[in-house]
């Protein structure tokens, strides 16, 4: 059977995290994996945050590396093998993004130190209202999602700036790691009402319209154009950037839903492209044996040169055609390649550079 693979990402709409949650359910991924307290226990718990912090290429690499072991196990357990479309894969990655797979794990102890070092504790106590009525941490209603917290901080920035100026407190710069640590610290405040997790991405269209309507497009043009400059950013990166830029901007009020829409739009314009090194990718292309099939017209494998395959299409191809690829590789005496660190990102960058 010829492998007719669709490798062009242009026709894929940006991923929707809510649809991604449905993909996990409908494709029976939760028959083996647990996430957010739901699912099976015969495969790794996807909800564990310790030492996770994947980027899209690393997550795709992990799926690829473990696939030959997953397929037989699924067959033994009677679980149908998922067959993902490119859109399904895009939605799945949006879910992983919203679930903060690509953020560094947070630490409450570091968060307590940052909360004090950034002078947040000068106004916000844990349990009681602070000076000028600053709400205590335990009353914050936006602790379920960094994007919702970014919205609350953004909307209060003018008032905070005025209060900090009175106290002669400089506006503190926030790294994404510091933001995450503070968020984890706040969630662990005794009595804090942490709402259910929110999914942070959806259709990009409303966010693109907001980007223009709120005046963001007027400034982020020319040298300040965001397209191509925000690759690999996470929800925590987005939230920290909004905080850091707030004092220098006119800050139109943004609801949590509007902030989420803007985040979805910015995610959609940056998450498809791999950020690898084409020169290193050429070495991977040769070392992993890709050329044996993909540069041989008689093999039935698609020619990769000229395609725009990326992490999204790569995962879709793996789940739709992986077992057949594995059998063909066995017949040719080619070992299933494994990817480490940024090897997959480099490989995809090389393939795209061959256009």
pLDDT tens digits along 249-308: 777 888 888 888 888 888 777 765 557 899 999 999 999 888 888 888 787 788 876 677
Which tokens sit at 200? 């942070």
Lowest mean pLDDT among 25-29, 193-197, 235-239, 310-314: 193-197
Q: Examine the pLDDT at 341 and tell me if it is beyond 80.
A: yes
Nearest partner of 238 among 141, 110, 98, 46, judged by Cα:
98
| pTM across the whole model | 0.75
Q: Examine the pLDDT at 49 and tell me if it is beyond 80.
A: no
d(CA 183, CA 144): 9
Measured CA to CA in angstroms, residue 15 lies from 11, 31, 270, 349 at distances of 12, 23, 12, 21
d(CA 302, CA 10): 18
Q: Examine the pLDDT at 1 and tell me if it is beyond 60.
A: no
In 235-248, which positions are buried (b, 16+ CB within 10 angstroms) versus exposed (e)?
bbbbbbbbbeebee
Q: Examine the pLDDT at 178 and tell me if it is beyond 90.
A: yes
Query: Tokens 């992490």 map to which residue?
Result: 311
d(CA 133, CA 118): 19
217-262 pLDDT, tens digit per residue, is 888 888 888 876 777 778 888 889 888 988 887 778 888 888 888 8
d(CA 158, CA 20): 36
Mean pLDDT over each residue of the chain, to the nearest integer: 82
**What percent of the chain is modeled with pLDDT above 90?**
12
């Amino acid at each position: 059977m010829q492998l007719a693979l669709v490798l062009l990402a242009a026709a894929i709409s940006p991923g929707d995290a809510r649809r991604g949650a449905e993909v996990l359910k409908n494709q029976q991924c939760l028959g083996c994996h647990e996430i957010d307290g739901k699912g099976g226990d015969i495969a790794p718990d996807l909800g564990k945050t310790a030492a996770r912090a994947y980027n899209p290429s690393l997550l795709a690499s992990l799926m690829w590396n473990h696939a030959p072991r997953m397929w037989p196990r699924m067959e033994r357990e009677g679980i149908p093998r998922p067959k993902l479309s490119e859109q399904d894969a895009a939605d799945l990655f949006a879910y992983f993004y919203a679930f903060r797979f690509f953020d560094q794990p947070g630490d409450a102890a570091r968060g307590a130190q940052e909360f004090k070092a950034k002078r947040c504790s000068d106004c916000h106590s844990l349990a009681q209202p602070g000076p000028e009525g600053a709400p205590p941490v335990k009353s914050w209603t936006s602790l379920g999602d960094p994007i919702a917290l970014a919205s609350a901080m953004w909307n209060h920035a003018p008032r905070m700036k005025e209060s900090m100026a009175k106290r002669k407190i400089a506006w503190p710069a926030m790294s994404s790691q510091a933001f995450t640590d503070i968020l984890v610290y706040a969630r662990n405040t005794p009595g804090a009402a942490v709402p259910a997790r929110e999914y942070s991405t959806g259709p990009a269209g409303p966010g693109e319209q907001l980007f223009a309507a709120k005046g963001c497009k007027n400034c982020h043009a020319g040298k300040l154009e965001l397209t191509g400059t925000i690759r690999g950013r996470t929800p925590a990166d987005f939230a920290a950037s909004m905080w850091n830029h707030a004092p220098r901007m006119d800050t139109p009020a943004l609801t949590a839903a509007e902030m989420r829409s803007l985040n979805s739009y910015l995610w959609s314009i940056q998450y498809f492209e791999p950020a690898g090194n084409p020169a290193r990718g050429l070495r991977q292309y040769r070392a992993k044996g890709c050329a044996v099939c993909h540069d041989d017209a008689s093999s039935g494998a698609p020619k990769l040169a000229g395609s725009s395959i990326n992490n999204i299409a790569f995962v879709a191809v793996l789940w739709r055609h992986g077992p057949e690829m594995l059998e063909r590789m066995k017949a040719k005496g080619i070992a299933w390649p494994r990817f480490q660190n940024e090897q997959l990102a480099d490989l995809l960058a090389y393939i795209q550079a061959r256009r």
